Amino acid sequence: MTQTRYSEWWRRSTVYQVYPKSFKDTTGNGTGDIKGLTEKLDYLQELGIDIVWLQPVYVSPQYDNGYDVADYEAINPDFGTMEDFDELVQELHRRGMKLMTDIVVNHTSVEHEWFKQASSGKDNPYRDYYIWKDPGPDGGLPNNWQSKFGGPAWQFDEASGQYFLTLYDKTQADLNWENEKVRRAVNDMMLFWAKKGVDGFRMDVINVISKDQRFPDDDGSVPPGDGRKFYTDGPRVHEFIKAMYDEVFGPYEMVTVGEMSSTTLEHCIRYSSPEEREFSMTFNFHHLKVDYPNGQKWELMPYDFEAMKRLFTQWQTGMQQGGGWNALFFNNHDQPRAISRFTDDKAYRVESAKLLATTLHGMQGTPYVYQGEEIGMPNPIWKGIEEFRDIESLNMYRILQEQGKNPGTAQSILQERSRDNSRTPMQWDDSPNAGFTTGTPWIKVDERYPDINVQKELADPGSILHHYRRLIALRKEHDVFVEGSFIRLDEAHPEVFAYARQAEGAALVVVSNFSGKEITFRFGDKQWAELGERSGQQLLIGNTAEAPVLAQELPLSPYASYMWLIRK
Ligand code: GLC
């Protein structure tokens, strides 16, 4: 392990993810905006954040909250203006912070000019920007692929008698990456933002851009059998990404993260190893599917804790051995809140939030904090179906009932699984609407905001927010966070996740009780011996009043979590 291998600055950084629609509204229209983010940069800087990931603010009909882009180079008026954007970049840079924007190029909105042209006739020069197919031999769909948001992945175009591919919503038409002109246009668009001073990109579902050109039916032999095996980490995906690197990411020294849907470790090593010249790091979602029975998101089950630990271990050790780099996260705008899902967001909300943070931030990778996570926002209390806004959730509400579920059951599934769980407005203070807007918020504010808000967290030195601040600072202070190898220490314990990070001269040890029980955890003799000399130990961070010494037997209160540093 050489120093140069880990020399890039972003390996010590923490990224803060901003869902602009729900962050801070400065106009009173009920929708967050770019100026709202600029207003809060001091808050983020004090937290220790050095990269802000801003989700899509481009012109869009907003069926999928901006992931349906109608113009890649213009700002949606709801979010502000290009001047606001330039000011954001300037204000970030003035503070030594960086901006990562969201690039959504698997698909465009059907309202994008390219699609309008393409659907105006078979001879239009833009026709080949998208994926068109004649009906199948039976006159129906071209194949049996399913949309990720429910229903078939094809939409019929009356005018031409052909279908076009939509792997996500029916208003999100998949771009044809086989067409060189599409690749050229995407690179030009990214160069436009790079020249504006954007420092990095988060690449939306980028591992599905290259489709198997035979477009075969899925025989269902590999679950979930919806066609994904024919486009996930597809035939030319690495070639396409390398071309982006050569023209854009490399020359502008950008920090990039690829969102990888249903991917594999082997592919992520390739996507994120510096010598491959593709991305800086990757998101994968395997550790967040541990409560999907047979991979089914829309069915409920308690999560499989052992599977989660096994997946973290595989990705920690596998990425390190292969030279890849993980983006570390428990939360984002597509996931229910982790404290509600994996811990106890009621009796032990504060302990739970700190436990998840400590467990995640001790690992190798670049941690991501999703807005509200740092103040322990739980899933909101939903009162009725009319409160939901997300297109995927509303589609599934209908489909679940078509499958025979009654409305009550369908709604209770949504309450656990809906992406809206993480999309309610950021809770700044105890004023009306949590200080998010003076108008009517586009989605309801969770009623617990008088207790759970930034103002309160800032004032309390023992708060979740200060815990995050400390973790973010520790990563910058100690090389072992970046360099240490990962060793699992808990031998499939039913309640505890324990691991070490070993580097030359130092080790980290993290022990977390993921249960509401008082327990005593005992390191196995082998694991204890592996830790070696422990005399130079120091508790770096914990979430209880006690500051226990690292010992082979550890009493752990509910959701207790500790991180020690051992200097050797
Ligand atoms: C990604 C985004 C999600 C969006 C989808 C389609 O998964 O995170 O919000 O709906 O891509 O663009």
Model pLDDT, residue 3: 44
Residue 524: the pLDDT is: 97
Quote the CA–CA distance of 224 and 204 in Å, as a whole number.
Answer: 21
Helix or strand holding residue 393 (H, E): helix 391-402
For ligand 1, is residue 370 a contact (CB within 6 Å)?
no
Residue 224 in tokens: 């979930």
Query: Of 33, 64, 259, 390, which residue is the catalytic one?
Result: 259
How far is the CA of 247 from the CAs of 240, 241, 268, in angstroms?
Answer: 11, 10, 21
Q: Where are the alpha helices (DSSP H) in 197-304?
A: 237-244, 265-272
On whether the CB atoms of residues 506 and 529 are closer than 8 A, the answer is no
pLDDT of residue 534: 85
User: Is residue 63 in contact with ligand 1, taking CB distance under 6 Å?
Assistant: no
> Would you say residue 181 has pLDDT above 50?
yes
3-class SS shares of the chain: helix, strand, coil, % to 5: 35, 20, 45
Q: Of the residues 205, 257, 395, which should be mutated to test ligand 1's pocket, given the most ligand atoms within 8 Å of the CB?
A: 205
Q: If you average pLDDT over every residue of the chain, what do you get?
A: 97
**Is the per-residue pLDDT at 192 higher than 80?**
yes
259 annotated active-site: yes
Question: What DSSP assignment string belongs to 452-505?
Answer: S-HHHHHH-TTSHHHHHHHHHHHHHH-THHHHPEEEE-STT-SSEEEEEEEETT
Long-range contacts of 154-163 (CB under 8 A, 24+ apart): 157/119, 157/132, 159/119, 159/121, 160/119, 160/121, 160/122, 160/132, 161/134, 161/135, 162/122, 162/132, 162/133, 162/134, 162/135, 163/132, 163/133, 163/134, 163/135
Q: How far apart are CA 378 and CA 338, in angstroms?
A: 8
Q: Which atom from ligand 1 is nearest to the alpha carbon of 332?
A: 8
Give tens-digit pLDDT for 443-465.
999 999 999 999 999 999 999 99
- Res 333 pLDDT > 80: yes
Q: What's the residue count for the chain?
A: 568
The pTM is what?
0.97
CA of 205 to the centre of ligand 1 (A): 7
Ligand 1 contact, 204 CB (< 6 A): yes
216 HSE (CA, 13 A, CB side): 8
Per the listing, tokens 């481009």 go with 58
Q: Which residues contact 259 (CB under 8 A, 6 or more apart)?
A: 202, 203, 204, 205, 206, 207, 282, 283
Q: Residue 512 and residue 39: Cα distance in Å, rounded?
A: 36
The domain 4-106+180-378+447-468 is placed in CATH, from the list 3.40.50.1980, 3.40.50.300, 3.30.70.20, 3.20.20.80, at: 3.20.20.80
The backbone torsions φ and ψ at residue 157, rounded to the nearest 5 degrees and listed phi first, read -110, 105
Nearest 5 degrees, angle CA 535-CA 541-CA 542? 105
Which of 284, 334, 420 has the most ligand 1 atoms within 8 A of CB, as the residue to mutate? 334
Cβ-count burial of 209 within 10 angstroms (0-12 exposed, 13-18 middle, 19+ buried)?
A: buried
CATH class of 113-174: alpha beta
Cβ neighbours of residue 303 closer than 8 Å, sequence gap 6 or more: 290, 291, 341, 342
| Structure confidence by residue, pLDDT tens digits, 97-149 | 999 999 999 999 999 999 999 999 999 999 999 999 999 999 999 999 999 99
- Domain 482-567, CATH: 2.60.40.1180
Q: Spell out the domain ranges in the chain.
A: 4-106+180-378+447-468, 113-174, 383-417, 482-567
Which residue, chain included where needed, has tokens 């004090």? 46
Q: In the chain, pLDDT over 90 holds for what percent of residues? A: 97
3-state secondary structure of 13: coil
Other C-beta atoms closer than 10 Å to the C-beta of 14 total: 23
For the chain, give the percent of residues with pLDDT over 70: 99
Is the Cβ atom of 67 under 6 angstroms away from ligand 1? yes
pLDDT value of position 4: 57
What tens digit of pLDDT does each residue of 486-542 get? 999 999 999 999 999 999 999 999 999 999 999 999 999 999 998 988 889 999 999
Using the atom order of ligand 1, give the atom closest to the CA of residue 149.
10
The answer to whether the CB of 33 falls within 8 A of the CB of 504 is no
Q: Parallel, antiparallel, or unpaired for β 132-133 and 107-109?
A: unpaired
